[in-house]
Amino acid sequence: METLRADVRAWIAENHPGEPGFKLPQSALEVADDRQFDWLRDWQRKLYDAGYVGAEWPREYGGRGRERGAQRVIDQELARARAPFLLNLVGLSWAGPVILRYGTEAQKRRLIAPLLRADEIWCQGFSEPGAGSDLASLRAKAVRAGDAFQIDGHKVWTTLGRYADWCILLARTDPDAVKHAGISYFLAPMKIPGVEVLPLVKMTGEGGFNQVIWTDARIPADALLGREGQGWEIATATLQFERGAAEGSAGGSGGGGEQVGRVAALARALARDADPVVRDRLADFWIRETALRANAQRARVAGLLSDRPEALPLMQKLTASELTQALADFACELEGDAAGLWIDDPGAIENADWQRSYMNSFAMTIAGGTSEILRNILGERALGLPKTR
């Protein structure tokens, strides 16, 4: 692994793309225009061609077939070098792993390689208006019609929907079955008649999220992943990948981990680092960040998780997203009145990056299950507390 680490460092030193000359989004959740999209796609393609995306995935489907742990080393080095994130977030971290687990041979051979190289972009069709955090209450329906399914429904908060070629889509195929049993899981093409994408504008003024309306959209029957009615099981597996409770990402999940250092640098630049209150807050954040790194190491030791396999990874998602939000909030507090300025204002500190981070952080405490839902799961499954009603 140390040889791989050295190789990655050397490659990044020669190939880091630097600043693009325009404002990049802070994550794949905020990609809003063609210029950002094209630049980030080129970066993912370059990494894939170098062998640094899909490092552990099977060679026959486009991966590199390397030993377990290789992708983690690559991701760590990319994060250390503050390299740009990988564009195809849903494909690399959620859709790809479930296709490898549940897909047919034909689905794997058709879909995995273009996903790794960002030649085809993926989005996620789980959330629906009015459903809140109760995923199983979805109303989108899929009706079998010969060699196709007809899809009708409304999805929302669809990251990258505007650019997506494919969607991991949940729809109800049996309205008479009990709530969780009548759901099926589709690998649905997006660029077909009957699919309308409506971009949403976030409070930062940026895009990234979309609504997707499916109206009499016909998708082939072989778009079904797994068995008809198996959707809830596969959706649960997808959420484990999304929440970091299961390893298997093809890359791009090693970001973060050095946020406290950035805030400490900000405190020094603003001559606030001698303030005992500021130092105390920074020490507290450093302890929390260090604990997250230690827990990430513990999560990779199978024997430590055998009794409650989900507990530690879910706790990581909960605490990491809340730490990110608290750090951005504290950075804005350090900036004082300048925190009221925005991008491209001459007086804005770091071009308002921390204000932007703070507002964007709310998406992270909602996506993949809100903090409240995760606390419920941890309380019920890890601590054995009574279930909520």
The set of catalytic residues is 242
Is residue 10 classed as helix, strand or coil in its secondary structure?
A: helix
Q: List the structure tokens of 105.
A: 């041979």
Alpha helices in 272-335 (DSSP H): 276-298, 311-335
For helices 276-298 and 259-269, give the axis angle rounded to 10 degrees.
170
- Residue-by-residue DSSP string for 186-231: EEEESSSTTEEEEE---TTS----EEEEEEEEEEEGGGEESSTT-H
- Angle, CA 89 vertex, CA 156 and CA 375 arms, to 5°: 65
Rounded distance between C-alpha atoms, residue 389 and residue 384, angstroms = 15
Beta bridge partners of 220: 148
Measured CA to CA, the distance from residue 292 to residue 218 in angstroms comes to 45
Strands 148-155 and 195-199, by their bridges, are unpaired
Amino acid at 309: P
The first and second tokens of residue 252, run together, are 């791009």
